[in-house]
Chains A and B, each alone.
Chain A
Amino acid sequence: MSEKILKALMQLFAIIARQDVGLSSRERDFVEGFLKQQLSEIAVSEYLNLFDDYVAHDGKSSEEKDRTEVKLTSVKDSVKTLGIAKKINRTLTQKQKVVVIVRLLELINSDKNFTPQRMAIIDTTAEVFNISRQEYKAISCFVIRDKSEELDIPEILISQSHTTSNINAHFIHTPYLDGKIIILRVQSVDLYFVKYTGKSELFINGLPLKTNRIYNFATGSVIKQPTGKPVFYTDVAAKFISDTAETNIFFKVENVDYTFSNGVKGLENINLFESSGKMVAIMGSSGSGKTTLLNVLSGIENPSNGKVIINNTNLHSEKKKVKEIIGYIPQDDLLIEELTVYENLYYSAMLVFRDQKPSHIADKVDNILTSLGLFQIKDLKVGNLMNKKISGGQRKRLNIGLELIREPSVLFVDEPTSGLSSRDSENVMELLRELTLRGKLIFVVIHQPSSEIFKMFDKVIILDEGGVQIYYGNPVEASIYFKKIDNQINSDVGECPKCGNVNPESIFNIIESQIVDEYGKSTGTRKVQPYEWAKHFESFFKPEAIKKSIPKLPETFVKQGWFRQASIYFRRDLNSKLSNKQYILLNFLEAPVLAFLLAYIIRYINDPESGVYIFRENANIMPYMFICTIVALFTGMIVSAEEIFKDRKILRRESFLNLSRSSYLLSKMSILFMISAIQALLFIWVGNNVLGIKGMYFEYWIIFFSVSALANVIGLNISSAFNSAVTIYIIIPFLIIPQMVLTGAMFSFDRINYNLGGGREKVPLIAEIMPSRWAFEALVVNQFINNDYEKYFFDLRKLESNLNFKNVYYIPELKGYIETYKSKLHAEEQNPISDKDIQLLQNEILKENNSFLAQYHQITFENTELIKPESFNHQTAKEILVYLNKLESFYRENFNKINQQIDRQISEMVNSPEKRNKYQQWYDQHYNSHLATFVKNTYAPLPLIRLGNTLVQKIDPIYLNPTSRHLLDFRTHFLAPNKNLAGRPIPTFYFNLAILWLFSVLAYIALYYDLLKKFLLLFKKREVTIQTSKKQK
């Protein structure tokens, strides 16, 4: 009892005791006795003194009071009472107030002094406390009356050895009991009080039960008597509730079989029928199929034969309708280790009740915590099995709590008591028992229960090896059944009457007893085989006739609230991550530390004597960009690889709630994206700064982030599809190494296997599916084109390059074909020019006619149709030569023009020493010459190559605008400055970025539909069919 109540009680006791004749010694004894029951010696005297002080407040002794003064004082006292009562009203809960009333009544009952003043005071108090008239009457009746006839109200339960004639009061028969146990139920606050009128030695929760004393009868309490059945709280509560509850769930299992994917039989011909308000045990030796049965009954697995029907709805074929009313509590923990007890429940509740206000839910959670006895530890972190913060029993209760919030009508529990002490086990089972009182149907797989627990079940199903049903019925009768079959003695006696024990172990001993040889040793073979037990049972079992008509399933309707779901997932995940300090530290230090190491190592000075770092001369910038993409991939995948895998049990449980997968996935992705974004920022900020890459932070950041984000989604895919953490981590290199190879940084696309697309005009197809390649290209192209220096000159340089290429390489090459033709013709050779070469000329001239520059030079070759093997002759060659020469002079002149223009612009910038220094600095800080060499492919073995019947430019790819043959032709050569889409040029950076996000979207779709998992299952199925076909052979 809290200090507050005690003080209040002392005050009230004092006021009441003062009334009329004042404090009597009996009353004082009562107060003392009352205090002694609750407190230690020191506290008792403390409060007793307090009481005495309150009583002596007036200063007058009881004898000196005369009639009128009594009246006055009673008025004064009434006012005081009112005041105290109001004060108490504010500070105590309703439950506590009821307790106060009960104690007050108990006080005046101690010397049976029911003066009107006293009654009036208590009356007033009760009114102020908002206790209903009816309840107040019931309470006073309970406290004051003793006789059965006087206690015939529905709020009372009497337990005695002989029946009563009461109509309204409830009754529990307790043979051999002396006197009566009287129990009061205060429905509004769900409190029970007990008093005993007899002389037997009774114990309530281990403490002796004194006669005519009123005790709190709390949840899980037990009143034990020396002989006879104990009185359980649940039995009592059941009595009060059972008549009011409605049966609305009818659960039928018809001839259910289940075969595993490898052909082994899991369950055989299971039949049962249950309705709400019952608790059914599923028992059997290891491997008899208990968990399988649970899985089939709950809908997780589909039976190979037979049906599971809930209120006329087939569970497996119409899962969606039925999912909401089913709850499943697996044996393993489903708790989120990093969150507290409260948080675990809270988030779960938020997901279940997603259309309610958070404040309502908070209240609900507090209630459940209290009923689970976890309120005191609600702010403790759950921890994991290695690092326990709360005990095993508490964990189990929390697990149950997670499911309880939903209040599913049918609950399946897998081994709730495994690993728990007997006290904890009893607590847990009491909890479950309580649920049945509220109308739930509960199936519990349990192994080696104690006798107490065994007796709590309404029915028990016993399975034997191979999933055969060998018993279904009342637990106590099970013992009789098996003993009968075994022809044992005492088979008529189900349980020991005096000790109240039934031994489930003995049942299993009978079932599994083995044949003993002549020396008394067991032979290893069973006396009775499983199928024999099953046959016995079949002949014994008579299915219950269904009496009532079966109503339809209650409609469950929950608003979708997608955003809310997503935000709940988001907050849960975020909190979980934030509370793990190690995780945060590692994740967010990883990026900048790596970046620093990397950048610092590769930051070198070309000319050691100068001692000055020059960005332009650092040959490691292009490799840095490559490493950036790989690091982004790697960190993205590592962060996400275990995410879904860790959540899988929780997801399984939540699959019963109609939660949207997309909200779960997107919220997960949001968190991962946030992490990726921060990591990207840190990495780029450190790396770029150390290396002196100026500006363009946003571009680097967004590419790093996009790659990381994509890797996140891919990681989630893996996480969702694979069964073990190890497999996941093994997969990761397989995903990253090909990307490293095919980025175009380590190995040029011109120097990889031709059969895989190397050495062609466009990027090899296999590299097109590598995100690293898109990212790297975007970074490189962006860095070259958009750096502060180059962007002044890029367009001019591009034009200059195009013109130069045509002038120096392209036109001379074409002219070469003509020259060769001419000289061969002159030498009167048979075949002066091959058909292929003619085809090439035609292709190229057509290209030239339609090229971008054609609109400027307007030199066209008219008769391209004549460039065919049939019509190619000396005249054609001459015309082509003229055409080519015209082109050549156009290109030459304009090249000179542009070249001089650029030169002029630069000269302007360096025509004074200060300007020159500025220019030099600008140039040194923004332009990187090695990167330039890379993007211009300066070291290409050949500037121009022939592929089939076309010529392909290999030099200066960064300056080459790609041509597209049709609207959807977006593939280009590597390092193109733009890509074409629907005829419009789009800068490579943005195009590649879009592609990366497209990959992410595709990966998300694969994730949502679990495509990877299904793909893997295909293999498994194939394996199985191969194996079974092998077996058949």
Chain B
Amino acid sequence: MKKYFLLFSLIFLVLSANKSFSQCGDALLNICHGRLENARFIKSWPIQLPERARGETLPQVSFKLPLTSGNTYKIFACDATEYEGKVIISIRNQKDDLVVTSYMVEQNRHIPVIMFPVLMSGIYTFSFYFEDGKEGCAVGVVSIAD
């Protein structure tokens, strides 16, 4: 009995840990909201990109956002389940230097959440694209962590 219960809860956890959600579009954000936990929402962007066509560059979108020194930001994104693509976040500073990205190339791993305590106020660029240029729908969220 205990075994089954553990198995069941494991599956449940696995499933719930899955960061893919359905319903591309504005509604996706509401579903994604749960992942904020205690962070204070600042900004979100909808991301919808087609499949990379042969010979074309990787489709991506970028948004600018001012971050203030002294705040720690929690940044994450949610995928819509209907689409294959898994989203990758990358953050650049004013000088366009890469600060951080959510995909660990070496380990072939997506990190779901980025915590960024900012000490240089300025306008940062947030770029989003999908792994392997697959077609994808996602929403990116920036919030201030408590």
Q: CB within 8 Å of B: which residues of A?
A: 823, 827
Contact = CB atoms under 8 A, between A and B. Distances in A.
Contacts of B24: 823
B28 to A, nearest CB: 13
Contacts, number: 3
Nearest to B25: A819
A447 to B, nearest CB: 92
Contacts of A823: 24, 82
Contacts of A827: 82
Nearest to B24: A823
A827 B80 CA distance: 14
A974 to B, nearest CB: 32
A827 B137 CA distance: 14
3 contacts: A823-B24, A823-B82, A827-B82
Interface in B99-140: none
Nearest to A826: B82
A451 B24 CA distance: 111
A135 to B, nearest CB: 116
Nearest to B135: A826
A827 B82 CA distance: 8
- Chain B contact residues (Cβ within 8 angstroms of A): what range? under 10
B97 to A, nearest CB: 38
A823 B24 CA distance: 10
A1033 to B, nearest CB: 71
Nearest to A816: B25
Nearest to B82: A827
Question: What are the nearest 3 A-B pairs in CB distance?
Answer: A827-B82, A823-B82, A823-B24
Nearest to A823: B82
Contacts of B82: 823, 827
Interface in B41-83: 82
Interface string B30-47: 000000000000000000
A186 B24 CA distance: 119
Nearest to B137: A823
A827 B23 CA distance: 13
Interface in B6-41: 24
A203 B50 CA distance: 134
A617 to B, nearest CB: 34
A827 B84 CA distance: 12
B131 to A, nearest CB: 20
A829 to B, nearest CB: 11
A438 B24 CA distance: 106
A827 B135 CA distance: 13
B41 to A, nearest CB: 24
A951 to B, nearest CB: 20
A147 to B, nearest CB: 132
A823 B23 CA distance: 10
A827 B24 CA distance: 13
A826 to B, nearest CB: 9
B127 to A, nearest CB: 26
Nearest to A819: B25
Interface string B82-100: 1000000000000000000
A812 to B, nearest CB: 11
B137 to A, nearest CB: 10
A823 B82 CA distance: 9
A476 to B, nearest CB: 109
A143 to B, nearest CB: 124
A823 B25 CA distance: 12
A654 B70 CA distance: 100
B80 to A, nearest CB: 10
B101 to A, nearest CB: 30
A832 to B, nearest CB: 14
B135 to A, nearest CB: 10
A351 to B, nearest CB: 80
A823 B83 CA distance: 11
A679 to B, nearest CB: 57
A823 to B, nearest CB: 7
B134 to A, nearest CB: 14
A823 B3 CA distance: 41
A322 B64 CA distance: 104
A969 to B, nearest CB: 39
A996 B82 CA distance: 58
A875 to B, nearest CB: 21
A854 B82 CA distance: 38
Nearest to A827: B82
A827 B83 CA distance: 10
A619 to B, nearest CB: 33
A225 B24 CA distance: 125
A663 B24 CA distance: 75
A270 B24 CA distance: 98
A213 to B, nearest CB: 122
